[in-house]
Amino acid sequence: MTEVWLNGVLLAAEAARIAPDDRGLLLGDGLFETLRVSGGRPLRLDRHLARLRAGAEILALPVPLDDPGLAAAMDALLARRGLSEASLRLTLSRGPGPRGLLPPAEPTPTLLITAAPLPPPLPPARVVMAQGTRRNEHSPLSRIKSLSYLDGVLARQEAARRGADDALLLNTAGRIAEASAANLFLRLDDALVTPPVSEGPLPGVLRAAVLEAFPVVERPVTVEDLLLAEEAFLTSSLGVRPVIAIDGQPVGDGRPGVVATRLAAAL
């Protein structure tokens, strides 16, 4: 039986209930974090919780537990599930509320934590440029992991229709922002380049780790840069994924690059 942690209680997933007037369900009013677990411990937990709290501050959304309390809840679920290599998801919504957009003055947040065995590594990605949606770099939502993730959903659906593994999203200025659920890095003239947060990508946790551990140039990235890249790869909390083709054109020699391979081992 699969257990989840919901509002302070470990219970069978089949018994978990979300209120029909929960604003996360009705309006996407909330946040989430996905964490990789290795050796029974969530990786980069402090960074994930810092991003969660930064997003909660933007939304004026209370977080019902302090960081040690959140860590204890995750540990309890992992222990109950017997998972040491896993993917954890923490979902926080504003909880039940009356009809309409204005949140209740004193919300009762819903906090759900789920865990699953770590999926196998993904193969190198063939990506396309999304045509049906763009990333709005001017919105504060571009900087938080909102429950409303429909731009990513639309982009991933488009990629599937076009026979690709993922899609890259342009921002409103026509420059590269990110993939549907990952940050993009390029190797150009032997330098690592990635779009700055001001261009619309989510400030990814593994992205931040790469920026701290390796020399990376943060600058706007154009479609033309993609054509010149010697290497490209995506980063998310679950790992590093090489990109070997964009819109049917090979990246570099069409094989996973050396930097992505080294990063995957180092991080």
pLDDT, position 265: 83
> Quick one: tokens of 196?
């700055």
Question: Any idea which residue has 């992991």 for tokens?
Answer: 145
Confidence of residue 264 (pLDDT cuts 50, 70, 90): confident
Confidence of residue 161 (pLDDT cuts 50, 70, 90): very high
pLDDT at 267 over 80: no
3-state secondary structure 11-51: EEHHHCCCCCCEHHHHHCCEEEEEEEEECCEECCHHHHHHH
Distance linking the first and last C-alpha atoms of the chain: 33
Helix (H) or strand (E) holding 115: strand 110-117
Does domain 125-266 fall under CATH 3.20.10.10? My reply is yes
**What distance in Å separates the CA atoms of residue 249 and residue 254, rounded to the nearest whole number?**
8
Provide the CB-side half-sphere exposure for 133 (13 A, CA).
18
**What distance in Å separates the CA atoms of residue 256 and residue 217, rounded to the nearest whole number?**
21
Domain boundaries, the chain: 3-117, 125-266
Question: Any idea which residue has 């599937």 for tokens?
Answer: 160
The answer to whether the beta carbons of residues 234 and 226 sit under 8 Å apart is no
> Quick one: tokens of 59?
């939304």
pLDDT in tens, 7-58: 999 999 999 999 999 999 999 999 999 999 999 999 999 999 999 999 999 9
The answer to whether the beta carbons of residues 145 and 61 sit under 8 Å apart is no
C-alpha dihedral sign at 255, 257, 260, 263: positive
The helix/strand/coil state of 78 is helix
pLDDT at 164 over 90: yes
Give every CB contact of residue 50 below 8 A, 6+ residues apart in sequence. Answer: none
Please, is 177 exposed, middle or buried when counting C-beta atoms within 10 Å of its C-beta (0-12, 13-18, 19+)?
buried
pLDDT in tens, 215-254: 999 999 999 999 999 999 999 999 999 999 999 999 999 9
Does domain 3-117 fall under CATH 3.30.470.10? My reply is yes
